[in-house]
């Protein structure tokens, strides 16, 4: 019988160790070290080395598990358990010296996320949760905000960087939010956006064209902290559906109505 709590704490320590490596490599990556995987999707030896370390140690924690990893370090598929890994969420920030990026690891059991860890490297903040637990930040319990009015809310998002099919409607929604909220923030790491939702720094977050490794751990932690996680239709296809809304329960109805009006 697997202890998800003990496993989660092992992953926390691993993510911290990998985060230390990433931080040590900051400002050491040269232009010739950067590869373009697809439009505006960058990678360097830092991402790849970090992922190899994660895969190696996670495999020792749970040998039967497979991997869904951004850089494709392992193609093993587990029958029950699969790790979902983003070794460096916020690569563009990292490469440009913008100090917001994270290590993100989730464990999926069949179709359900059961462990989530997001380590925000520069603030030394580790967010984590396991199935049935509260959500935690560096050992302290966290919860979503209780903001009940859209005019009192702070919203997070990510700008589309390769899929522009909803761009006009997306910016129309941003115009509405700019006029009717306390502001909109775009910090460049969806994993961080989601855990900032979890601890009440943001009241809602939305983005499209994301991958499972961008959202799996952060969304699970936000859920355990009390957030509602849905896709743009108000359904549950957010892990692989490439669109996600995370919102506190008090704002859910009003905010999701805006999402449906502009983006669905």
Same fold flag, 4-141 and 150-263: no
> What confidence score (pLDDT) does residue 109 get?
98
Contact status, residue 208 vs residue 163, Cβ threshold 8 Å: yes
Enclosing H/E stretch for 27: none
Which has the closest alpha carbon to 249: 190, 204, 218? 204
CATH topology classification for 4-141: Fructose-1,6-Bisphosphatase; Chain A, domain 1 (3.30.540)
> What confidence score (pLDDT) does residue 42 get?
57
CATH of 150-263, one of 3.40.190.80, 3.90.420.10, 1.10.150.110, 3.40.250.10: 3.40.190.80
> What confidence score (pLDDT) does residue 39 get?
57
Every domain of the chain and the residues it spans: 4-141, 150-263
Q: Distance between CA atoms of 189 and 84, rounded to whole angstroms? A: 16
Which has the closest alpha carbon to 259: 165, 185, 155? 155
Q: Helix (H) and strand (E) counts for the chain?
A: 7, 14
> What confidence score (pLDDT) does residue 179 get?
98
Binned average pLDDT, 10 residues per bin, the chain of 264 residues: 95 98 85 62 79 97 96 91 97 92 98 98 98 98 98 95 84 97 97 98 96 97 98 96 97 97 90
Enclosing H/E stretch for 249: none
> What confidence score (pLDDT) does residue 40 get?
47
The model carries a pTM of 0.95
Q: Distance between CA atoms of 221 and 134, rounded to whole angstroms? A: 8
Which has the closest alpha carbon to 107: 221, 228, 264? 221
> What confidence score (pLDDT) does residue 32 get?
65
> What confidence score (pLDDT) does residue 36 get?
67
């Amino acid at each position: 019988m697997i202890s998800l709590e003990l496993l989660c704490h092992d992953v926390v320590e691993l993510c911290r160790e990998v985060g230390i490596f990433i931080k040590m490599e900051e400002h050491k990556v040269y232009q010739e070290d950067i590869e373009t995987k697809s439009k505006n999707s960058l990678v360097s030896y830092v991402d790849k080395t970090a992922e190899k370390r994660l895969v190696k140690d996670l495999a020792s924690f749970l040998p039967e598990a497979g991997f869904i990893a951004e850089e494709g370090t392992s193609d093993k598929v587990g029958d029950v358990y699969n790790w979902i890994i983003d070794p460096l969420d916020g690569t563009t920030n990292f490469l440009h010296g913008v100090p917001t990026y994270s290590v993100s690891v989730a464990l999926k059991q069949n179709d359900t996320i059961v462990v989530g860890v997001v380590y925000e490297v520069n603030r030394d903040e580790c967010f984590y949760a396991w199935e049935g637990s509260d959500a935690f930040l560096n050992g302290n319990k966290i919860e979503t905000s209780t903001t009940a009015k859209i005019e009192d809310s702070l919203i997070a998002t990510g700008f589309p960087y390769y899929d522009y099919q909803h761009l006009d409607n997306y910016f129309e929604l941003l115009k509405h939010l700019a006029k009717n909220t306390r502001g909109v923030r775009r910090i460049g790491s969806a994993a961080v956006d989601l855990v900032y939702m979890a601890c009440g720094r943001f009241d809602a977050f939305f983005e499209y064209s994301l991958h499972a490794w961008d959202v799996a751990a952060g969304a699970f932690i936000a859920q355990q902290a009390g957030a509602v996680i849905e896709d743009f239709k108000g359904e549950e296809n957010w892990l692989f559906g490439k669109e996600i809304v995370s919102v506190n329960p008090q704002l859910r109805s009003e905010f999701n109505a805006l999402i449906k009006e502009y983006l669905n």
